[in-house]
Amino acid sequence: MSLQTSGIHHITAFARDPQANVDFYAGVLGLRLVKKTINFDAPEVYHLYFGDQAGSPGTIITFFPWPTSRKGRVGGGQVGVTTYVVPPGALGFWEDRLQKFGISTKMQTRFAEKYLQFTDNEGLQLELVEREEGAESEWAFGGIPREKAIKGFGGAVLFSTNAAQTRQALESTLGLKKTGEDQEYTRYQATGELGNIIDVPHADMAHGAGGAGTVHHIAWRAKDFTEHAEWRSLAARHGFEPTDIIDRQYFNAIYFREGGGILFEIATDPPGFARDEEPAELGHHLMLPEWFEPYRSQIEANLTAIQVRVLEEDRI
């Protein structure tokens, strides 16, 4: 049996200073901090989730801000560029906005679409593209009106150490359709409206190095727990070595590394971020899984307080 993912569920990356991370993704990009929790494997470090108002699959970028982390190097075996989608006509607004924050940008064209490219405060490579697809944001923050706001992921550019293997994993395992090819990239499309366009450069790339400013893994959507188990069998049948199913509180996860070196996760749409906080209060409280609750005071004492705030540049 073959399966098709509808696209990206979330992307997880490394940062250093947690407040600087919040200031960039909430303050500059206007995403909502939808969950403030800890790295379940390293409880001295936050795990921060930013997305649309509900933290919908296809909009979520997550970070482990590790203050003492080394700087990483973007390269093969990583998501090279994370693409966000904004409404048609919004790119000029974003060019001005990023300039206001002193962030330099450049324009790239791929498959007749214009991409506004920039990096976050750690060097993570990001870009914005205008598309009709995807509902208008219901979240407005700082100087960003809803009609200009980021809708979610447009997709990603995958930097592979073995592009042929990565292309095969996208097509044969994840069920994406090849929709284009130019001199530099092959383009794939998933069935969803967001996080659905994936470009793979033809050239194999030398290995990057993990650390601040790089992506750790990309997660693809499974619509429910039943399909998730099927994804695990499928990955094993295709020669990958999927982990057991891991409970990540807000979704279930399996992980495997594809042949081009990129760590793939398959994550379930349910239960989502409202499982332990009211929709209106998402991201307001430090949420811990029950097995860490006995250590809450110790965990809180080890974390620097962070706040979502409107930045200086938006107050002038």
Residues that bind Zn ion (CB under 5 A): 12, 219, 265
Least spacing, CB of residue 66 vs Zn ion, in Å:
16
Torsion region of 92: left, alpha or beta (phi above 0 gives left; psi -120 to 50 gives alpha):
alpha
Q: What angle do CA 163, 166, 171 make, to 5 degrees?
A: 125
**Residue 22 or 254: which CB sits closer to Zn ion?**
254
For 88, residues 6+ apart whose C-beta sits below 8 A from its C-beta are: 130, 131, 132
Q: What is the dihedral of CA 302, 55, 86, 77, to 10 degrees?
A: 60
Least spacing, CB of residue 62 vs Zn ion, in Å:
7
Least spacing, CB of residue 76 vs Zn ion, in Å:
20
Four-residue CA torsion sign, 39, 43, 44, 49: positive
**Strand, helix or coil for residue 48:** strand
**Residue 150 or 219: which CB sits closer to Zn ion?**
219
**Strand, helix or coil for residue 147:** helix
**Strand, helix or coil for residue 37:** strand
Least spacing, CB of residue 124 vs Zn ion, in Å:
16
Identify the helix (H) or strand (E) that includes residue 21.
helix 18-22
Least spacing, CB of residue 249 vs Zn ion, in Å:
11
Q: What is the dihedral of CA 255, 258, 262, 268, to 10 degrees?
A: -30
**Residue 61 or 219: which CB sits closer to Zn ion?**
219
**Residue 12 or 83: which CB sits closer to Zn ion?**
12
**Strand, helix or coil for residue 226:** helix
**Residue 219 or 308: which CB sits closer to Zn ion?**
219
**Residue 190 or 219: which CB sits closer to Zn ion?**
219
Least spacing, CB of residue 97 vs Zn ion, in Å:
28
**Residue 61 or 129: which CB sits closer to Zn ion?**
61
Cα distances (angstroms) measured from residue 177 to each of 160, 238, 259, 262: 18, 18, 19, 19
Least spacing, CB of residue 219 vs Zn ion, in Å:
4
Amino acid in the structure at residue 4: Q
